[in-house]
Amino acid sequence: MKEIIWFVIGVVTLSVIAGLLQPSKKKKKRRNSNSKKRTTKKPVNTEFNRASSSCRSDEVILTLPLDKMTGVEFERLLTLYFRDNGYTVKEVGVGGKDGGVDLVITDKRGEKTAVQAKCYADHNKVQVMTVRELVGAKRNHDCILSLIVTTSDLTGPARKEADQFKVDYWHGGLVDNKLRSWGKWTPSNRKVKTTTTKKDQSSSKTVSNINCSCGASMVKRKNKAGAEFWGCSSYPTCRKTKAI
């Protein structure tokens, strides 16, 4: 009889314990399901990726400002520019496997130039290694000349290296000037100063026949003291001046 009583007590005890444990399991399952739902949400990256390998159509590229182009689109823009200026262009670096050369341009005399294009932000300058890669890689394409085209500039050591190995280079101000002179590149969101005075408008029309070392024309300007001087028209990208 005692054995039966202890057996009944044991069954009741086990059922009570099981009842207490069940809600906690359900809570754990709910917590786990909620945590899974929370972790599945991924933030959407809406920032412009300059390093993207995507390339929009030529019509779109011709309306894009340089800071809204990917590296591939900048190379394509240069291809269109050089072709319109009488060069035969071979797009070597399509897909990112350029080996130090993006374009090989050939003039009417048959002279080949290896071109390395760098679509960089202003603070990101071309390093020495890029110059060295271009010097070594141009031989693989039977090129005599070499050219670096960048939307920013070269570092000081990179400029010295380029001068030493006779590598020509176009910095951001010169690139912008050449593309605008071409006429087909018309960036849609070009910033226009709306607060210029009549004095500014009259002085900006006074353009000299003198060219800046960057290739842009010189414009007559005035300093704070009222003295006139020649300043580069691509200011503030280029800040070079000359006395009148």
- Mean pLDDT of the region 72-97: 88
CA angle 102–79–171, rounded 5-degree value? 70
> What is the pLDDT, as a whole number, of residue 200?
43
> What is the pLDDT, as a whole number, of residue 21?
58
**136 φ, ψ to 5°?**
-75, -35
For residue 104 the two structure tokens come to 């090989």
Do residues 238 and 212 lie in contact, with contact meaning Cβ atoms separated by under 8 Å? yes
Tens digit of each residue's pLDDT (9 = 90 or more) over 87-143 = 999 998 665 555 789 999 999 999 999 999 999 998 899 999 999 999 999 999 999
Is the pLDDT at 196 greater than 50? The verdict is no
Give the percent of the chain with pLDDT over 70: 68
Q: Which residues contact 70 (CB under 8 A, 6 or more apart)?
A: 49, 50, 51, 52, 53, 54, 55, 119
Lowest mean pLDDT among 3-7, 167-171, 204-208: 204-208
> What average pLDDT does the chain have?
80
How many Cβ atoms from other residues are within 10 Å of residue 136's Cβ? 14
Is the pLDDT at 23 greater than 90? The verdict is no
Q: Is 11 helix (H, G, I), strand (E, B) or coil?
A: helix
> What is the pLDDT, as a whole number, of residue 202?
42
Rounded CA gap, 166 and 161, in Å?
8
Is the pLDDT at 34 greater than 60? The verdict is no
Written as one letter, the residue type at 51 is A
Lowest mean pLDDT among 52-56, 129-133, 202-206, 213-217: 202-206
> What is the pLDDT, as a whole number, of residue 145?
96
Is the pLDDT at 169 greater than 80? The verdict is yes
117 vs 202, which has greater pLDDT?
117
What residues form DSSP beta bridges with 170? 149
- Mean pLDDT of the region 198-223: 64
Structural domains in the chain, CATH included, are 58-182 (3.40.1350.10), 198-243 (no CATH)
Is the pLDDT at 56 greater than 60? The verdict is yes
Q: Is 150 helix (H, G, I), strand (E, B) or coil?
A: strand
42 vs 180, which has greater pLDDT?
180
What residues form DSSP beta bridges with 230? 220, 242
